[in-house]
Chains A and B, each alone.
Chain A
């Protein structure tokens, strides 16, 4: 079962992502803040974490750090509001596997996440 944890502050975007990924066969857990995301990483054990950078309580960067040091070594796809080269470099240095900026194409995002999952599945 492929499991995805989505962290996004905008409820409508969270709903759209949830529905789109569910329609593609993903099991989804959603939350809108870093604190809940930290808990879900332990209880839901996702394969991939899709997170925004700007979220309440913990930032996306802190989540990324936590996901990489997690026992399951969760892969992280980052969604950022602005093209910021410094943040992008920081994310990749910390182990993010993909970095997309808003506005994003839903199908492109789906494809990126699926590619990451398939790469995980390969030994």
Chain B
């Protein structure tokens, strides 16, 4: 009993102490949680603020560049012999890569939409501002979407000297890159660019084939001299495409080669050969009449 009397106050004291400690701990925990929340909130706010500032800078530059470009084009229309001058403010801004990339985007849109003197001016500007450097950077990127954009810039701005770079992408493992490269080379060189077909080991998608056939309609038709080689390739998608080419641009000399494709092990090749022969028969009949 005596022992109990001795211990009881100390237990009560311990309990009180525990309660006091846990209240203190809770208080500290609440403070830490509040500070953490505040920090997270501040980080989010800073992020939002930086984004807004960046967006404003981008918007301001785009407006400035668009106005200048529109004025330069109008001036060129009114005084064709007058050379366009880039304002010092714009020159200074265009030293920054971020602004150069924005300018490049604007010029790309203009080149797609306009022809005539305005288009010539846009290409001149691309070269004068040395934006090809940015395009080359994109071609070296490890991100496929940037490479695709780079390829697009090459053919949109008629950079014929980069043909080899585009041909190098023609058999890329990434379907988007090689698709854009195929479109790019044909966009620049027409029928002549079809030499890439021999180097393609990856499949040529249906969409690629439709795009290429459409793009070729914009060029003057040429004899398909490489047809025997294309029809003998192991890549069946290329053989199908070659047959589609013959269907669109029939040449009687390849009739027997197409006929031989009917015995091909690939069903798609057989089907396309049959369609092609049908078209060639009609064409030959028309030629005779």
Contacts and interface: CB of A to CB of B under 8 A. Distances in A.
Interface of A: 10-13, 15-16, 18-20, 23, 102-108
A11 B70 contact: no
Contact of B113 (A18, A19, A23, A102): A102
A20 B74 contact: yes
Contacts of B70: 12, 15-16, 18-20
A106 B66 contact: no
Interface in B53-97: 62, 66-67, 69-71, 73-74, 77-78
A104 B114 contact: yes
Contacts, number: 63
Contact of B116 (A12, A16, A19, A106): A106
B contact face: mostly helix, strand, loop, or mixed: helix
A11 B66 contact: yes
Interface stretch (B8-16, B29-37, B104-112, B274-282): B104-112
B121 to A, nearest CB: 10
Contacts of B110: 12-13, 16
Contacts of A107: 77, 116-117
A23 B74 CA distance: 8
Given A106-B77, A106-B116, 19 more contacts: A12-B109, A13-B113, A13-B114, A15-B66, A15-B67, A16-B74, A16-B118, A19-B71, A19-B73, A20-B77, A23-B78, A102-B113, A103-B112, A103-B115, A103-B119, A104-B113, A105-B114, A105-B116, A106-B73
Contact of A16 (B62, B73, B78): B73
A11 B73 CA distance: 15
Contact of A103 (B106, B113, B117): B113
From A11, A12, A18, name the one whose CB has the most chain B CB atoms within 10 angstroms. A12
Contacts of A106: 73, 77, 114, 116-118
5 contacts: A12-B69, A19-B73, A103-B112, A103-B115, A106-B73
A contact face: mostly helix, strand, loop, or mixed: helix
Contacts of B66: 11-12, 15-16
Given A11-B62, A107-B77, A16 B69 contact: yes
Rank and list the top 7 A-B pairs by shortest CB-CB distance, nearest first. Answer: A105-B116, A103-B115, A19-B70, A15-B70, A15-B66, A16-B70, A19-B74
Nearest to A105: B116
B258 to A, nearest CB: 30
Contacts of A13: 109-110, 113-114
A12 B107 CA distance: 9
Contact of A12 (B106, B117, B119): B106
Contacts of A103: 112-115, 119
B249 to A, nearest CB: 20
Nearest to B106: A12
Interface string B199-242: 00000000000000000000000000000000000000000000
From A13, A16, A108, name the one whose CB has the most chain B CB atoms within 10 angstroms. A16
Contacts of B115: 103-105
Contacts of B117: 106-107
B267 to A, nearest CB: 32
Nearest to A19: B70
A3 B112 CA distance: 27
A51 to B, nearest CB: 14
Nearest to A52: B113
A111 to B, nearest CB: 12
Interface in B182-200: none
A16 B65 CA distance: 11
Nearest to B119: A103
Interface in B111-143: 112-119
Nearest to A10: B109
Contacts of A15: 66-67, 69-70
